Amino acid sequence: MTVGKLPSQLAIMINNTALIENLVVEACMEKNKSKVKWAVCHDPLTSAVCSLEEINQMCDELFEINKEFYRRAKKEMLIMPENRQIELEDWMREAVM
d(CA 82, CA 50): 41
| Mean pLDDT value across residues 65-88 | 69
d(CA 27, CA 34): 8
pTM of the shown model: 0.67
pLDDT, residue 6, reads: 85
pLDDT, residue 95, reads: 52
User: Which DSSP symbol is given to 31?
Assistant: T
d(CA 25, CA 35): 9
Q: Is residue 63 over pLDDT 50?
A: yes
Q: Which of 10-14, 34-38, 78-82 has the highest mean pLDDT?
A: 34-38
Q: Is residue 55 over pLDDT 90?
A: yes
Residues 23-34 have pLDDT tens digits of: 998 998 888 999
Parse the chain into domains and list their residue ranges. Answer: 8-96
Which of 26, 34, 39 lies closest to 60 in space, CA to CA?
34
